Amino acid sequence: MKIAIIGAGNIGTALAEGFSAIEKKENIILTRRNIQHLDEYRSKGFQSTDSNKDAIKNADLVLLAVLPQQINEVLKEMAPVVDTKKSTMISCVAGITIQNIKDVLGKDTRVVRAMPNTALSLQQSMTCIAFGDKTTELPDEHKKFILELFNQVGTTLVIKEEMMTAATALCACGIAFFMRAIRSASQGGIEMGFHADEALQLAVQTAKGAALLLQKEEAHPEKEIDRVTSPKGCTIAGLNEMEHNGYSSAMIKGLLTSFNKANELYKN
C-alpha cells in the first residue's frame, strides 16, 4: 500500500511512525509546506515532498492531517489530480464531514474518518473510525487494513459518522481535560507539602492506576469509588466537596462546549 500523509505535523508524523510497523517507510510519503521540518523523517527512510499533488499520485491511502481551516485549500489543490478510483481518503480533520470532502473531490470518492488522540505517539491512542457512507463504503479487506494501521497506535472503535464530533470531544479534546485533572491534583499535592515533581508523579501514577482498574477489571467507576469511600471517611468528604463545587458538571459542560465548537470548525 502506498500511503500519502498530507499535513505531516503532530498527528501526521506520529501516525507515520505507527504505520511504519506494518508498512515500509519508503511507501509512506509525508507532505508539509515547510519541508525542512521533515528532514528527520526523510533520514529515517520516509519519503517527503512539499507537493501534495505529487504525493497523492498512485497513493492507495491519502491521510488528511492539516488543520480544519487549511483543509479546503488542500482539497481544492488535490481535486484536479486525485484518482478517486484508486485512492481512499482518510481524514483526521476535526469537524469536516465525509460529505464536505465529497463536495470538493467528487461524490464517488471513498472517505473514511479517523479521530485519534496525541497518545498515539506512545501507541496508546483511542481512535474512533467511521467507514464512509452507504454509497461509497469500503470493501472489507480495505477496512481491515485501515483498522490494522490504527491498531498500531492504540485501540480502535468503529462508530457511525454522526458520532464523530462526540468522539472528537471525548477522546481528542479529552486528553487536555484529563491532563488538567491530573495537573490540579498535583497542585493540591504541592499545597499539602509535596515538591512539584513528587506531586505530579503521585498524581500521574494514581490516575494511571484508576484508568487501569477500569480497563483491566472492566469495573464501573462508581463501584471503584464505593471501595474507597468508607463511612464518615475522608474520601467521601473530599469527593462531595468537589461535587458541591460542580466537578462532574464542569467536565460534562466542558465536553459539550467542545462538541458544539467542533461542529462549527469547518464553517469558520
Compute the least distance from the CB of residue 64 to ligand NAP, in Å.
8
- Which residues are CB-contacts of 165 (< 8 A; sequence separation ≥ 6)? 95, 259, 262, 263
Q: Determine, following the binding rule CB under 6 A, whether residue 117 of this chain makes contact with ligand NAP.
A: yes
Q: Which is nearer to ligand NAP, 16 or 199 (CB)?
A: 16
Q: Which is nearer to ligand NAP, 12 or 154 (CB)?
A: 12
Map the footprint of ligand NAP across residues 57-96, applying CB under 6 A.
65-68, 70, 73-74, 92-94
Q: Determine, following the binding rule CB under 6 A, whether residue 116 of this chain makes contact with ligand NAP.
A: yes
Q: Determine, following the binding rule CB under 6 A, whether residue 29 of this chain makes contact with ligand NAP.
A: no
Which range binds ligand NAP by CB under 6 A, 115-123, 138-146, 148-156, 251-259? 115-123
User: How is 146-184 classified by DSSP, letter by letter?
Assistant: HHHHHHTTEEEEE--GGGHHHHIIIIITHHHHHHHHHHH
Map the footprint of ligand NAP across residues 149-208, applying CB under 6 A.
172
Q: How far is CA 258 from the centre of its chain?
A: 14
Angle (CA) 20-22-26 rounded to 5° is 45
Map the footprint of ligand NAP across residues 3-22, applying CB under 6 A.
6-12
Compute the least distance from the CB of residue 52 to ligand NAP, in Å.
5
C-alpha to C-alpha distance for 77 and 55, rounded to whole angstroms: 12
Angle between helices 247-264 and 234-244 (to 10 degrees): 40
Q: Which is nearer to ligand NAP, 29 or 199 (CB)?
A: 29
Q: Which is nearer to ligand NAP, 34 or 43 (CB)?
A: 34
Phi, psi of 126, deg, nearest 5: -100, 110
CB-count burial class (<10 Å; 0-12, 13-18, 19+) for 98:
buried
Compute the least distance from the CB of residue 164 to ligand NAP, in Å.
11
DSSP strand pairing (110-115 vs 125-131):
antiparallel
The residue from 20, 48, 52, 100 that contacts ligand NAP (CB under 6 A) is 52
Residues 239, 241, 244, 250: what is their CA dihedral angle, to the nearest 10 degrees? -60
Compute the least distance from the CB of residue 63 to ligand NAP, in Å.
10
Residue 233 grid cell: 471517611
Nearest residue to ligand NAP, scored by beta-carbon proximity: 9
Which residues here bind ligand NAP, judged by CB under 6 A? 6-12, 31-34, 52, 65-68, 70, 73-74, 92-94, 115-118, 172
